[in-house]
Structure 1
Amino acid sequence: MNTGQNHRPHGRVLVVDPAPGDTAVTELAALDDLGLVPTVNLRRVSGPELRARIAARWATVDFDGFSEEELARQLEDDGRGYDALKCRAGIPLTESVLERATAGALQRRLVLVGRAAAGSDTFDRTAAQRLEVAIRTTPGANAAAVAELTLALMLDALRGVSRRSNALRAGSWSAAVEGLPTGGLMNARLGLVGSGAIARRVAELGRSFGAEVLVHGSPRFTAERAAQWPGHRVESLAELLAGCDVVSVHVPATVETDGLIGAEELRLMRPGSVLINTSRASVVDEKALDEVLRDRRAGLSWAAVDVFEEEGPGFRSVLADNPHCTLSPHSAGMTLSAMQESSRRLLGEFAEFMKETGLTHGGSR
């Protein structure tokens, strides 16, 4: 561990993964200015020059942030503890990790966790509330980026761009032109499962391509709210699935959405239809999707998936060898501008929390 430079004795923050590129230095300096002295995990920092710049100014460690045991051990820090944690990936902030990070024997206990992303489904929110650990995220910061990739996956699924490219690289013109002419978004019915910021942006983009947009949202998506949308409200999920050429999923991972779309729902989809999932793996049953896609009697003809049950270096999926599916490595929100905006918003959340709690004056509560 590099000890870094001396800092004023205010709060301590463990930065599990800083913002990408030069934004990392800006983010770390802003945390320092807030009175939260960063200790930076270099495991996911790319480039020796950036790593050296960070190590010259701040304390550094190197550990696997996706390992529950390593994360807990770092948060304990040989009894010193941390006031805050910042991350951008879906780290395993389980009840066990939270209990170890808030133990009474620590000099400092964890009181604030911030993730520069919309979701927190890998965090045990119930345990966090019980242990008085505040959780802050940045919903909507990456809406434009996720919507862009969603549209790109739709167009690829409808027009076959990637598979036609692969056929040409293999030297087969006949395979490359198979299935022409194709469908497109013009005059298609585009169904959105979800009514948040990402879904709304997808609706706007879909309309600009000439699609008719239908939306099935949460109970909060009332007829009054729907009237302000670039799309038509649909009462039931079944109606949406059966009535659209393209269905795109945009709901968070919750108890209510777990397994929302399984084999029964997938078999409702109309002939030649396409499914896009850039939300969470738990929403669409991965094995059911694989089976329905392989059944050529089913209406669903293609899927594009950006989220999986097992991601990262240990990636595994039954969809990996499915010939009717486009795969993307959970990259929908990963544009530089989106990640910069997420970092900026999270810093604002940290500043507001510290103002409300006085964290910079004497450390943890």
Structure 2
Amino acid sequence: MKAAQDLRTPARVLVVDPAPGGTALTELTALAGLGLRPTVNLRRVPDAGLRARIEAEWETVDFDGFSEEQLAKRIEADGEGYEALKCRAGIPLTRALLERATADGLRRRLSLVGRAAAGSDTFDHEAARRLGVAIRTTPGANAHAVAELTVALMLDALRDVSRRTHALRAGSWSAAIEGLPTGSLADARVGLVGSGAIARRVAELVGAFGAEVRVFGSPRFTAGRATGWPGRRVETLADLLTGCDVVSVHVPATPETAGLIGVDELRMMRPGSVLINTARASVVPEAALDRALRDPESGPWRAAVDVFDVEGPGFSSPLADNPHCVLSPHVAGMTRSAMQAASRRLLEEFERFLRQPGPPNPSEVGSR
């Protein structure tokens, strides 16, 4: 960090949301060991004992990290600035915020942002490259965790577990046993949209249930790369949608994947089929899925969704009252082991960045 090299005091890192639980202490100690001085946002640290331990050792603040204006004001406070930001949620790293964080009036200029997660679709990568801010993430660190919940949601949707639970709690045995017999993963054909680490792990898991796996990947997922993959490669998305009993989405949010499975694509799905989305809401528009699920003549029979356009305390979705959809609050990657792995991986990325002999290569800035 060139800005840090020009200052006698350690470089400052704003920890917008620390790792959960005791991992937060390990993470903060490691950041300090890298020569960074953490300022820790306590907004998403609910445990009073942990908050007290953090307050006793590090500078702390309390603000809404999902608010662009609050985040910008924190960075600009007292004209000090930060050389680095660390987060695990999708903070609003917009062009305007990046420009404010790298402004000449600040004593410290932002040069590194790290997110302990795979995605960075709330980050403006183009602005980061232009302003010389490197972006580091941890793809693959939560692959096993996301794959596990994906399979759990498949089983819930196929076996109607959540609906039967609600019926029994309401005292209705007759309602709880409606719709029997159910589908299963055994002998089902499972289609995966995407061919990354999560999709591969899902393929391995459902294969153990006896499912046949089909995969539609990006243009990089060539026949050669598919060799040895635990699933059969298909050429088109239409082939996958029309030929599978369960379709699970595992692609990032990009301009190319926005609306990838919309009204027309949902209509292609088999009668009685199931759709699972643990990727991003933009890939399968919620309104289109809601309409398809309510129409017995069109689209999937059941769905399970872990990602939404509006998340957090203001959560809203047209799927919220859809009886044919299982909902999960974007927690697929939130296991203890996955979050610990993501924290470790990000610390390694920070260390690698700090060890660079000079300013980062412009071609690498914001590219990972």
Letter in 2 for 1:224: G
1:304 aligns with 2:304: yes
Deviation at 1:75, TM superposition (A): 1.2
Letter in 1 for 2:24: A
1:185: which partner in 2?
A: 185
1:255: which partner in 2?
A: 255
Instruction: Point out where structure 2 has 5 or more consecutive residues left out of the alignment.
Output: 1-7, 360-368
Deviation at 1:78, TM superposition (A): 1.8
Partners of 1:217 and 1:112 lie apart in 2 by 31
Partners of 2:188 and 2:263 lie apart in 1 by 24
Mapping of residues 325-340 of structure 1, within 5 Å: 325-340=325-340
2:288: which partner in 1?
A: 288
1:201: which partner in 2?
A: 201
Deviation at 1:227, TM superposition (A): 1.1
Mapping of residues 343-358 of structure 1, within 5 Å: 343-357=343-357
2:22: which partner in 1?
A: 22
Partners of 2:157 and 2:41 lie apart in 1 by 38
**Can you list the C-alpha shifts for 1:253-282, whole angstroms capped at 9, x where unaligned?**
001001101000000000100000000010
**Can you list the C-alpha shifts for 1:124-143, whole angstroms capped at 9, x where unaligned?**
00000000000000000000
Partners of 1:358 and 1:351 lie apart in 2 by 14
Number of corresponding residues: 352
Partners of 1:188 and 1:354 lie apart in 2 by 49
Instruction: Point out where structure 1 has 5 or more consecutive residues left out of the alignment.
Output: 1-7, 360-365
1:4: which partner in 2?
A: none
Identity, % of aligned pairs?
Answer: 75
SS at match of 2:65: coil
Letter in 1 for 2:73: R
1:128: which partner in 2?
A: 128
Partners of 1:77 and 1:198 lie apart in 2 by 40
Deviation at 1:358, TM superposition (A): 5.9
Partners of 2:283 and 2:77 lie apart in 1 by 36
Deviation at 1:284, TM superposition (A): 0.4
Mapping of residues 1-365 of structure 1, within 5 Å: 9-357=9-357
SS at match of 1:267: helix
2:362: which partner in 1?
A: none
**Can you list the C-alpha shifts for 1:324-365, whole angstroms capped at 9, x where unaligned?**
000000000000100000000000000000001568xxxxxx
**Can you list the C-alpha shifts for 1:9-47, whole angstroms capped at 9, x where unaligned?**
211000000000000000000000000100000000121
Partners of 1:228 and 1:53 lie apart in 2 by 49
Letter in 2 for 1:123: F
Partners of 1:10 and 1:358 lie apart in 2 by 17
Deviation at 1:228, TM superposition (A): 1.7
SS at match of 2:302: strand
Q: When the two structures are superposed, what TM-score results if normalisation uses the length of structure 1?
A: 0.95
Deviation at 1:77, TM superposition (A): 2.2
Letter in 1 for 2:62: D
Partners of 2:83 and 2:118 lie apart in 1 by 22
Partners of 1:334 and 1:175 lie apart in 2 by 33
Letter in 1 for 2:72: A
Structure 1 pair 324/155, CA: closer, same or farther in 2 (3 Å)?
same
SS at match of 1:308: coil
2:365: which partner in 1?
A: none
Partners of 1:245 and 1:116 lie apart in 2 by 34
Partners of 1:42 and 1:284 lie apart in 2 by 34
Partners of 2:90 and 2:73 lie apart in 1 by 18
SS at match of 1:348: helix
Runs of 4+ more than 2 Å apart:
none
Deviation at 1:299, TM superposition (A): 4.1
Letter in 2 for 1:125: H
Q: When the two structures are superposed, what TM-score results if normalisation uses the length of structure 2?
A: 0.95
SS at match of 2:268: coil
Structure 1 pair 37/297, CA: closer, same or farther in 2 (3 Å)?
same
SS at match of 2:334: coil
Letter in 2 for 1:121: D
